[in-house]
Amino acid sequence: MNAVHSLAFALALAFAAPVHADYLPDPAAAEAALWASPMVAQARGEFAAQTMKSQGLQRGREEWTVGADIAQRRIQTTPRDTQSEWGLALSRPLRLPARAAADRALAGALTAHAEASLGEALHESGRQLLALWFDWLNEASQSQLWRAQLQLGEQQLATVNARIRLGEAPRSERVNSEAALAQLRLQQQQAATREQQARNRLRAQFPDLPVTAEGALPSPLAPAGTANDYVDTVLEHNHELFRARRQAEVLQAQARQLAKRRSADPNVGVFYKNEAGGDEHVLGLNLGLTLPGSARRFDQQAAEQLSATAQDAAMRLEQQLRQEARADFETATAQVANWQQAEHAAQALEEAARLAARAYSLGEGGLDQVLFNRRLALEGRLQAQQAQLAALAADVRLKLDAHRLWPLDVDTDGAHAHP
């Protein structure tokens, strides 16, 4: 195997198998939640309806027409007479082979467009789930951080009380330490409220999804592969682009169908008549042609114009998605570098706060310096945590768009029967 094939094989593995992390929803639960989401449920119903419409289009709209007539014939010449007469007729339009082929092509294009719309709804629901999930994860991480800070504040108050009992610190430091502890309790309560609100928003949209995360957040990693590889993979799976292309194909098929309908519409039928009071019986065959008017030509031209416009829109969308995918890859790479810098700064600030607290417990330094360093360390840790979540969210978004996170492809045979 040469180097090019080896690289292609490695990239195929990198962008193939779905991944799972402890801080993300369980893949099976996430898949079930996506298929049960309102957006996907509506798209599933529309797909099922369009499938039935396409079946009707394939069978054709031509229908039988039954006619009957009753008449009374009066003979004015001698001998005068009045005779009852009646007749029956049965006819239907004919669908020529070329028109039938155009109808079948349109039916297939409509089904493919409905399938692409279902895939896009599934993908958009996945993005919505991730946005709500990381919103909750961010609030939960902050709540956990504030709880840890609250424990440090309680320990600091205990240290202050110990120094006061030994006569090494004034009683005013107890007031300052208690005030700082009260602020920490308030911040922790507010963080817990925000966490619950974020959880409620997630559960409101995806009620059956377990909202739990195990373990600590992992260290973000730079995206694997190159930007070009990622862009090509995303475009191979992008349902929005598929839907735009399928829309152009639908309009092309409609234009071809209307072109076939510009010819005359033939119809054929049989009739039976009972005349002369039953003395005469007539059995015959009738043929007819519906001559097309100028409206059909304008309908075809309009469909061709819409088809050309849709094709241009699909090409512009492909260019836009290509640029957006490249920007997402570059953003995910930059977010990792941002987190690394923020983490380095947070660790330095936390070490400074630890040393200040240690010095205070040994009778060196003042409480104000301890509280100041701890506040800086807290701000640095919050920034590092947000940078970490931003980097993880950007990486997960890459995996979602590349179909490496959850199964987002639509099985047309069971799309409306999927769990």
Query: In DSSP terms, which residues pair with 267 in a beta bridge?
Result: 93, 288
Domain-located, residue 41: no
Per-residue pLDDT at 323 exceeds 90: yes
Rounded to an integer, the average pLDDT of 237-263 is 88
To the nearest 10°, report the CA torsion of 40, 42, 47, 52.
Answer: 150
Rounded to an integer, the average pLDDT of 147-169 is 77
Domain-located, residue 43: no
Burial of 55 from C-beta contacts in 10 A (0-12 / 13-18 / 19+): exposed
Burial of 218 from C-beta contacts in 10 A (0-12 / 13-18 / 19+): exposed
pLDDT for 332: 92
Domain-located, residue 78: no
Per-residue pLDDT at 139 exceeds 80: yes
Per-residue pLDDT at 411 exceeds 80: no
pLDDT for 391: 94
Rounded to an integer, the average pLDDT of 61-73 is 84
Rounded to an integer, the average pLDDT of 25-50 is 89
CA distance 31 to 400: 12
Decide: helix, strand or coil at residue 300.
Answer: helix
CA distance 187 to 409: 43
Q: Can you give the CATH number for the domain in which 412 is found?
A: 1.20.1600.10
Q: Of 142, 149, 27, nearest to 388 (Cα)? A: 142
Which residues contact residue 372 at a Cβ distance below 8 angstroms, ignoring those fewer than 6 apart?
A: none
Domain-located, residue 63: no
pLDDT for 197: 94
Q: Is the peptide bond before 79 cis (omega within 30 degrees of 0)?
A: yes
Contact 48, 66 (CB under 8 A): no
Domain-located, residue 404: yes
pLDDT for 409: 66
Rounded to an integer, the average pLDDT of 96-123 is 89
337, amino acid identity: A
Least confident of 36-50, 91-105, 154-168, 305-319: 154-168
Range of the domain at 351: 11-27+120-264+295-417
What pairing do the DSSP bridges indicate for beta strands 81-93 and 265-275?
Answer: antiparallel
Decide: helix, strand or coil at residue 225.
Answer: coil
How high is the mean pLDDT of the chain? 83
Instruction: Give percent of the chain with pLDDT exceeding 90.
Output: 31
pTM recorded for the entire structure: 0.78
Q: How many CB atoms lie under 10 A from the CB of residue 84?
A: 13
CA distance 260 to 102: 7
Contact 355, 377 (CB under 8 A): no
CA distance 326 to 235: 11
pLDDT for 18: 45
Per-residue pLDDT at 378 exceeds 70: yes
Q: Tokens representing 248? A: 């152009």
Contact 312, 371 (CB under 8 A): no
Per-residue pLDDT at 418 exceeds 60: no
pLDDT for 344: 94
Instruction: Give percent of the chain with pLDDT exceeding 70.
Output: 91
Q: Tokens representing 230? A: 């990622």
* b/e sequence 223-240, b meaning 16+ C-beta within 10 Å: bebebebbbbbbeebbbb
Domain-located, residue 300: yes
Per-residue pLDDT at 263 exceeds 50: yes
Domain-located, residue 129: yes
CA distance 301 to 295: 10
CA distance 233 to 16: 10
In this predicted model, what pLDDT tens digit does every residue of 325-369 receive, in sequence order? Answer: 999 999 999 999 999 999 999 999 989 988 988 887 787 777 778
CA distance 38 to 344: 43
Per-residue pLDDT at 5 exceeds 80: no
pLDDT for 7: 33
The helix (H) or strand (E) run that includes residue 358 is helix 294-361
Contact 259, 299 (CB under 8 A): no
- C-alpha distances in angstroms, 359 versus 338, 364, 374, 416? 32, 5, 13, 67
pLDDT for 417: 38
Q: How many domains does the chain have?
A: 1
User: What DSSP designation does 91 have?
Assistant: E
Domain-located, residue 275: no
In this predicted model, what pLDDT tens digit does every residue of 167-222 receive, in sequence order? Answer: 766 777 787 878 888 888 998 899 899 999 999 999 999 998 888 877 678 889 88
CA distance 188 to 204: 24
What pairing do the DSSP bridges indicate for beta strands 65-75 and 280-290?
Answer: unpaired
Binned at pLDDT 50, 70 and 90, residue 410 comes out as: low
**Strand locations in 259-340, DSSP E?**
265-275, 280-290
- C-alpha distances in angstroms, 299 versus 258, 261, 308? 7, 10, 14
